[in-house]
Each structure stands twice: as C-alpha cells, then as structure tokens.
Amino acid sequence: MSDKILMKGNEALAEAAIRAGCRCFFGYPITPQTQLPEYMAKKMPKIGGTFLQSESEIAAINMVLGASAAGVRAMTSSSSPGISLKAEGISYLAGSDLPAVIVNIQRGGPGLGGIQPSQADYWQATRGLAHGDFRVLSLAPAGIQEAVDLMGTAFDLADKYRMPVMILGDGIIGQMMEPVRLPDPVTELPEKPWAAKGTRGARKHNILNSLYIQPEELERVVRERYERYAEVEKNEVRVETWLAEDADIIVTAYGSTARICRNAIRAARADGIKVGMVRPITLWPFPSAAYAEAAAHAKGFLDVEMSMGQMIDDVRLAIGCSRPVRFFGRTGGVVPTPAEIRAEIDALCKEVL
C-alpha cells in the first residue's frame, strides 16, 4: 500500500491496472478518457509491457482479445462512442470465454453526443452491449479510491470467470483528482492452461473460438456459460447502503451521481427527513436484494441518473414495482446539483409520506 497521493481518475485507473498485472494496453484517443492511454504510453515501455495506439477502437478490442488469448492481462479504455465500436469484440471475448477489462468513461450521447459526464450507457453496460446471449460484469466506482480498488477486482473477476469486465465511470470519475492509496503490485497471477501461447509439443492444441455450427452444441456452451453467470450473481454482488435502515425514502444512484446525492441526503436528514441510499457498485449483477430489503420499510424510491432513466428499470424490477419510484435525471453532460436532488426528495415525500 502506498502513501496517499493526489491523482486524476484516468491516471489512477491506469496505474491501478499496471499494479493489477496488466501488461498489454490497446486503445484509441477519445475525450474524456485520453489521459488513461497517455499514462499507459509513458509507463508500459518502462516495465516491459505493451502500449499500442491502435488504428481504431475495433482494432484495439481485438488486440485485447489476442493478448488475452495469449494468457496476458490485457485491457482497453474508451468513452461512449468508442465503446459502441468495441461492442463486436466484447461479444467475441464473451463467446470465446476470454477475460478482459474495458473502461468506459462515459460522455453524453447518442451519436457524437457531447464530451461532458454522462451515465447514458447503463443499458449498454448491463444488457445491450452487443449481439448474442452474454453478460459483462459491470463495476461502477463512485470515487477515485474506489476506482483504483475495483481495477484489481476487475482483473481478478475477469480471470476467475473468464469473461469481460467493464469499469463504468464517467467524465467526472475520469477527470477529477483525489488523494488515493495505491495497492501493492500483484506478484502472482492465475495459471491459464487454456491460453494460446504455443503447445511446446507438450499438449494438444488450444483453440479459442466462438463458433459452433451445431445448434445443440452452441446451446450447450451458452448454457454452461450461464451457469458461470449464475455463480457471478451469487458471489459477486457489490452494493453500498447508507442510512437505509430506518429510511422512509431511498435515494438510489451509482457512480459520481451517488456522491452528489449524498449531499442532498445529508441536507434532508438535517431537516428531519429519514432518507437513505442504496448505491449499486456492481451494475451487473444488480444488487436486487438490497432494494427488496429497503422496500420492506421505505415508502418511496428516488432514482437519480445522468441520463433519461436507464437504471430505473432495474430498480423497479428489484422491488417488483411494490413502491413508487420517482426519477430525476439530467442528461447531455449536465450534472445534477444537490439542491435539485433535495427538491426531488421533498416532492417524493409529498407523494408518499
């Protein structure tokens, strides 16, 4: 563990990845994540790793696939429009049971959208990433320290379950500076007997492939993969609940939006309103149980996002629509203020209390 140092989110994510054993980074410049590849460009050559600026996001994710297939911890990072381009490769990673870490520092969309912080890629990260039956494990840090900590987790989980893991940040997480304590570099990495790094004449060839011509065989492979996903859902849910035990009102948000909500909740508590928070850290698997628990006593939920409302679908599903779920969102790169959220808490109180 290092002493606390002040780091920008994008750079802290890069350093954390290197400390987690990442030795291959492939990426393409896009705002607001460019400091991440820039940091990798400086650092990787010094430690015998690979930094390569690819010709496209598509090439970058396929280079990640190659390096991952070769048994090395590999990652890429981008921002929303770039993640859309990586979608194809992420589907192939999933279909080939290959680990990889993908960072999305979200910006406004659709299309070229904007370059300011956004959370409009929630659906993409949790369900609509690309073609086929598959899942991506999605982690949403709400601060730089958490981003650093989750980077190691992301590589470990990717290897453990042989699946792509996404760190879903946003322009705030990427750009802001905070003091962080960096973890010690990992010294031991898991064995990967499935990797394509040469048979050395000692075993049958390994094949990393996502093609199954026989439908029954493809169904079997997908079902086996879903058994692994079931293990992920059982073991890897991460969530923070805060002041929720006695709460009448539950504010829910993820990532940097949750930080803003915290201020609004404090203000409301000071005025005697029993407000708490449920903050998903894993977006998939979604921490549904934490919501169901809160719904046992809470009278209403306020879902806050930097989007037109995407996570709200999962919130409603988690509580079986048993309580009203009010939505407040700003989009296009506009960041909600504590005062706006406070006003929404008051409005929800009028509705349900």
Partner 1 sequence: MSVVFKKPDALCDVTMHYCPGCTHGIVHRLVAEVIDELGICGKTVGVAPVGCAVFAYNYFECDMIEAAHGRAPAVATGVKRANPANVVFTYQGDGDLAAIGTAETVHAATRGENITVIFINNTIYGMTSGQMAPTSLPGQVTTTSPYGRDPKLAGYPIRVCEMLATLSGTAYCERVSVDCVKNVIQAKKAIKKAFENQIAGKGFSLVEVLSTCPSNWGLTPIEALERLRRDMIPYYPLGVYCDRDAFAEVEAK
By CB under 8 A, residue 270 contacts partner 1: no
In angstroms, the CA 182 to CA 180 distance is: 6
Contacting residue, 207, 230, 339, 347, with partner 1 by CB under 8 A? 207
**Cα-only R_g, the chain:** 21
Segment near partner 1 (CB under 8 A); pick from 4-12, 68-76, 108-116, 118-126: 68-76
Contacting residue, 12, 17, 208, 345, with partner 1 by CB under 8 A? 208
Contacting residue, 92, 229, 284, 291, with partner 1 by CB under 8 A? 92
| CA distances, 202 to each of 66, 70, 193, 205 (Å) | 22, 17, 12, 9
By CB under 8 A, residue 209 contacts partner 1: yes
In angstroms, the CA 350 to CA 304 distance is: 18
Contacting residue, 13, 64, 158, 239, with partner 1 by CB under 8 A? 64
Cis? peptide before 99, omega within 30° of 0: no
Contacting residue, 31, 38, 43, 59, with partner 1 by CB under 8 A? 59
Segment near partner 1 (CB under 8 A); pick from 32-40, 169-177, 201-209, 233-241: 201-209
Contacting residue, 10, 33, 34, 62, with partner 1 by CB under 8 A? 62
Size of the site for partner 1 (CB under 8 A): 42
- In the beta sheet, which residues pair with residue 217? none
By CB under 8 A, residue 237 contacts partner 1: no
Q: Which residue has the tokens 């075993």?
A: 203
Segment near partner 1 (CB under 8 A); pick from 50-58, 238-246, 253-261, 274-282: 50-58
Sign of CA dihedral 45, 50, 55, 57: negative
Q: Which residue has the tokens 């969530």?
A: 239
Segment near partner 1 (CB under 8 A); pick from 197-205, 237-245, 251-259, 273-281: 197-205
Contacting residue, 46, 110, 184, 202, with partner 1 by CB under 8 A? 202
Segment near partner 1 (CB under 8 A); pick from 46-54, 242-250, 326-334, 337-345: 46-54
| CA distances, 144 to each of 62, 148, 214, 352 (Å) | 28, 6, 46, 35
Nearest to 304 by CA among 352, 353, 351, 249: 249
By CB under 8 A, residue 52 contacts partner 1: yes
Beta strands 137-139 and 24-27, pairing class: unpaired
Segment near partner 1 (CB under 8 A); pick from 106-114, 137-145, 207-215, 278-286: 207-215
By CB under 8 A, residue 2 contacts partner 1: no
3-state secondary structure of 95: helix
First to last CA, the chain: 47
By CB under 8 A, residue 54 contacts partner 1: yes
Contacting residue, 4, 42, 181, 197, with partner 1 by CB under 8 A? 197
Q: Minimum distance from CB of 71 to partner 1 (Å)?
A: 7
Q: Which is nearer to partner 1, 189 or 267 (CB)?
A: 189
- In the beta sheet, which residues pair with residue 251? 277, 302
What is the 3-class SS of 235-260, one letter each residue?
Answer: HCCCEEEECCCCCCEEEECCCHHHHH
In angstroms, the CA 303 to CA 250 distance is: 8
Residue 76 — φ and ψ, nearest 5°?
-140, 160
By CB under 8 A, residue 263 contacts partner 1: no
Binding site for partner 1 (CB under 8 A): 23-24, 26, 50, 52, 54-56, 58-60, 62-72, 74, 88-89, 92, 96, 195-202, 205-211
